[in-house]
Amino acid sequence: MGRYSVKLSKLIREFNLESIYLPKKSEDILIYASEVNRPGLHISGFYKCFQPSRIQIIGIMETAYLNDMSSQLRMERLMILCKKRIPAIVVTTNNKIFDEMIEAAKHYDIPLLRTNETTSSFMSSLIVFLNSELGPRKGIHGVFVEVYGEGVLMTGESGVGKSETAVELIKRGHRLIADDEVEIRRISDNILMGSAPKNIKHFMELRGIGIVNVRRLFGVCSIKNKEKVNMIIELKSWSPNQDYDRTGLKNQFADILNVRIPKYTIPIKPGRNLAIIIEAAAINNRQKKMGYNAAEDLFSKLGFEDVE
């Protein structure tokens, strides 16, 4: 799996950062690490286990610590920090920018930025942003929609009716995220985020009609840029020889980027309203996450103690 990066310019735009010093165009500066660091301990001189690839966050405590130093000592400590070739320094809470900080940043060509946000708020938002931009990813052939707040990834053979089902869902008030190609990113150990590749965002192919722009056809309320992948629905042509799950007692899962996602197989047969079935599946999946399983409830009422 390749090493992913995000341009510093995108980070600056996303968080409306003030550029105190940039050694070159922010578009040409790349960030590779999704973790961040508060270097208070390192400024004191302890650099064991220091990760130089991380963005360094200077908050109120680090600023107060630097402020208590003499100008000469402050220069020495900041020079050591910048010598590690860190990707950037961000000063939070609109704190003071020391002259020595600017001088050290210029000496080692380290981007120096500032934000009005508090340290905790900025760090939490930045970590989510970096995890989304730099997390492992893969492309999956399918259609991704949001149904009642659940991210539903529809898969199946080409021509099985995924896009047509998505159109019906959109007409029923749900939203399209991606058609044909879905880009899946792992943003944490157990969360996947799905989106559309830039060049095909909002577009959909309907056999017999051609390419349509869902945003222009149905309005801005019909689309969404990204959503968590909560469940997978595989659409399969109905076969009398296939044994389909009729109770829902046995949970099935698919593994994507080492994350287990609930998976359901829905047989396609003339007369079946797939949009309504998928709506029911999304609601049922949401209930399961909240601790209620209808199949277990029914079997319990029928007197079966061991529903497994």
* Contact (Cβ atoms closer than 8 angstroms) between residue 175 and residue 214: no
Indicate if 107 belongs to the active site: no
Cβ atoms < 10 Å from Cβ of 155: 20
Closest CA to 90 of 148, 19, 173, 183: 19
Tokens linked to 264: 């359901």
* Contact (Cβ atoms closer than 8 angstroms) between residue 171 and residue 279: no
Residue 16's beta-bridge partner residues?
none
Indicate if 202 belongs to the active site: no
β 6-7/30-31 pair status = antiparallel
φ/ψ (deg, to 5) at 119: -60, -50
- C-alpha count within 13 angstroms, C-beta hemisphere, residue 242: 12
Indicate if 180 belongs to the active site: yes
24, 25, 141, 272: the catalytic one is 141
Indicate if 269 belongs to the active site: no
162, 185, 202, 224: the catalytic one is 162
φ/ψ (deg, to 5) at 103: -65, -40
Cα 95 from Cα 114, distance rounded (Å): 8
**Greatest extent of the chain over all pairs of C-alpha atoms, in Å:** 82
3, 198, 246, 250: the catalytic one is 246
Q: What is the 3-state secondary structure (H, E, C) of 276-293?
A: HHHHHHHHHHHHHHCCCC
Show which residues are catalytic: 141, 162, 180, 246
